[in-house]
Chain A
Amino acid sequence: MREQQNNFRVEKFHSFRGLVAPVDRANIDTDAIIPKQFLKSIKRSGFGQNLFDEWRYLDHGEPGMDASERILNPDFILNQARYRGAQILLTRSNFGCGSSREHAPWALQDYGFRVVIAPSFADIFFSNCFKIGLLPIVLGTSSIDRIFDEVDSAEGYSLTVNLEGQTVTTPGGEVCIFDIDSFRKNCLLNGLDEIGITLQHTDKIIAFEQKRRMEQPWLFK
């Protein structure tokens, strides 16, 4: 069981059309995304039921609780029936600030999100997302404002995300282009293992290390 859950491989990212859920708040921190009591787990799966735990439930959550028996907060947007099954999270600036916990992207992915769209992200969170195949997309504030308005007024609002072409397309046909580093794009499209890629450079690492050992021997035991 544990083996299966932890034997993690990044899946290839395919283009898709997905339901959008809006969380209209700036500076959403990693403590809000996944509160610390759930970080005690030594697994990397199962965090989805505790995504946004303190906003999503009215009772206090602890690891091991049965989510189906907890009291949902009817005011929290993800609890509305119209956003059930959402795959794209739409949010505001500096999403994912705070701690380096990868549990935050794990929780988002485990919940069912494949893409997070925001005007900006915190650096560590942004980089963590790519490692697990969750795509963070930065769009301009005006596009984001418009999509927020559209989501609000149209139930079932979906966006099409095309990683290859680096586009997000609205139901009305508006196409927003996003930037992505070519290395990261390639890793996502092909589901590549970064450690494997790095180990292809083993000879360079060894050479670097030997030189370092000569020049700064105090760094080595």
Chain B
Amino acid sequence: MMQTLYDKLWQGHTVYEESDKPDGMALIYVDRHLVHEVTSPQAFEGLRLSGRKPWRLDAILAVADHNVPTTERSHGIADPVSRLQVDTLDQNCEDLGITEFKMTDSRQGIVHVVGPEQGATLPGMTVVCGDSHTSTHGAFACLAFGIGTSEVEHALATQCLLLKKARAMQILVEGSLGTGVTAKDIALAIIGKIGTAGGNGYAIEFSGNAIRELSMEARMTLCNMAIEGGARAGMIAVDDTTIDYIQGRPFAPRGDLWERATAYWRTLKSDEGASFDRVVTLDASQIKPQVTWGTSPEMVTTIDGRVPDPTEVDDAVKRHDMENALKYMGLTANMPINEIYLDKIFIGSCTNSRIEDLRAAAEVVKGRHIAANIKLAMVVPGSGLVKRQAEEEGLDRAFKDAGFEWREPGCSMCLAMNDDRLSAGERCASTSNRNFEGRQGPGGRTHLVSPAMAAAAAVAGHFVDVREIY
């Protein structure tokens, strides 16, 4: 029987299955459990109250990212509520003996940047975290998905989760991407096509030569956004790019084990002729830089496009949603996208805060300056190590000279749980993943774009086609 990558990962982690029922639950073993401060305190508390202990400490890696300040950290966290949450994580990790990268550790950063960077995410693993963007780790041919706090407790206590198998979707992207078009644009184009609920009930495998041509960082960007297309998990088969990325990372195997591991990892791909429940195809050469105009990632168009007109939509529910979105976003129908002026620029988040993202943005801003109407442009590297490398390459200078602020790593204005946020009515070009109402601050207006597009918008003051700048 030909198997998809998802079939292989699922079967390889099934501890127990309700075999009497075709659609029953399975007990799935967890190889890597990533933990952050927001979704874990209640799980640790539950564990304690029921007198249970973590099943396997070496499977867990913890890092605080959502609440941490991105400015000078030596005085700790000013907001007492945020501080308590981070202190609670520190305390839980210390009490139980869990490995944690604390706020002042150079390896600290966004959990989905840190895992792969450390080699803590390895092909063939099941990776879980109380965070929906855990799909990021699927770039390594992992079965990686977000879980709620009850499941965090369940995974801590049993090293397993009770799950139902999803259906398999293949998203085939053939052809080559044009200059200035990135994995972020592929992700948004896919979501524009299938909708934010298109992947509900599915695990997505991205394949095709446009995917094989992507770097690991770009693959992470793409898998990161699988959840925005409704799929709990996104994944990509192992190839040389995967293996080269992992080699030499702190948590990666070495010597004989490395040889054994890579031999196995190379089997992590869908068999020729394996069948999927749904196949979606895209032509990479046709994808243009994307910009979202609404309050859901599926409300997206191309840089040369216009804000759509709700009166042209027949479906009443959809029309109503579009009208709400335009009102919230302060936009009018048929307005050209490149006439949308911005107040703030955010380059960061688990979608686009890795070194290649920063390089792409720096290349655009180098020798230029942010426009006069931009009140704040900030770069928040995904981890302390990304930050350090960027500084070694002089990227920080390019950004600072252009008028950007250069910050400490964390989630920052992706969800504005710390002090970085939009004020009501402010409009932001953001490299993050969600443009929901209030996501970057109450009343804030978010447009999702790639790092290069955000950088170009910073310089121009409004959206521009980055392909014209290169």
Contact = CB atoms under 8 A, between A and B. Distances in A.
Contact of B42 (A25, A42, A123): A42
A120 B130 contact: no
B131 A54 contact: no
Interface in B1-54: 15-16, 18, 21, 23-25, 27, 29, 31, 38-39, 41-42, 45-46, 49-50, 52
A212 interface: yes
A101 B58 CA distance: 25
Interface stretch (A68-76, A77-85, A89-97, A160-168): A89-97
Given A31-B437, A212-B29, A218-B122, A198 B154 contact: yes
B24 A183 contact: yes
Interface string B416-440: 1100000000000000001011110
A210 to B, nearest CB: 12
Given A26-B317, A204-B27, A219-B122, A94 B196 contact: yes
The range of chain B's interface size is 35 or more
A124 B132 contact: yes
A189 interface: no
Contacts of B122: 218-219
A124 B232 contact: yes
A190 interface: no
Contact of A131 (B38, B124, B125, B151): B151
A27 to B, nearest CB: 5
A201 B15 contact: yes
Nearest to B258: A218
Given A36-B416, A128-B148, A97 B196 contact: yes
A174 B296 CA distance: 35
B260 interface: yes
Interface string B153-184: 11001111010101000000000000000000
B149 A102 contact: yes
Interface string A112-123: 000000001111
A63 B85 CA distance: 13
Given A27-B321, A36-B417, A128 B201 contact: no
Contact of B197 (A25, A35, A40, A122): A122
B317 A92 contact: yes
Contact of B437 (A54, A122, A197): A54
B215 interface: no
Contacts of B230: 94, 97, 122-123
A127 interface: yes
Interface string B206-222: 00000000000000000
Contacts of A64: 81
B186 interface: no
A120 to B, nearest CB: 6
A17 interface: no
A205 B84 contact: no
B147 A183 contact: no
B50 A195 contact: yes
A60 B442 contact: yes
B150 interface: yes
Contacts of A105: 148
A219 B29 CA distance: 12
Given A32-B437, A120-B197, A198-B160, A6 B25 contact: no
A29 to B, nearest CB: 5
A119 to B, nearest CB: 10
B18 A63 contact: no
Contact of A100 (B31, B146, B162): B146
A37 interface: yes
B118 interface: no
B30 to A, nearest CB: 10
B158 A42 contact: no
B39 A102 contact: yes
Given A27-B296, A205-B159, A100 B132 contact: yes
Interface of B: 15-16, 18, 21, 23-25, 27, 29, 31, 38-39, 41-42, 45-46, 49-50, 52, 55-56, 58, 66-67, 79, 81-82, 84-85, 88, 122, 124-125, 130-132, 134, 145-151, 153-154, 157-160, 162, 164, 166, 196-197, 200-201, 227, 230-232, 252-253, 257-258, 260-261, 264, 296, 317-318, 320-321, 324, 415-417, 434, 436-439, 442
15 contacts: A6-B46, A27-B196, A29-B434, A29-B436, A40-B67, A40-B84, A44-B42, A99-B132, A100-B131, A102-B39, A122-B197, A128-B151, A195-B153, A195-B158, A209-B56
Given A2-B45, A218-B252, 10 more contacts: A25-B321, A54-B438, A63-B81, A100-B148, A102-B149, A182-B24, A208-B29, A216-B264, A218-B257, A219-B31
The 5 closest A-B pairs by CB, nearest first: A131-B150, A218-B253, A128-B148, A102-B148, A100-B146
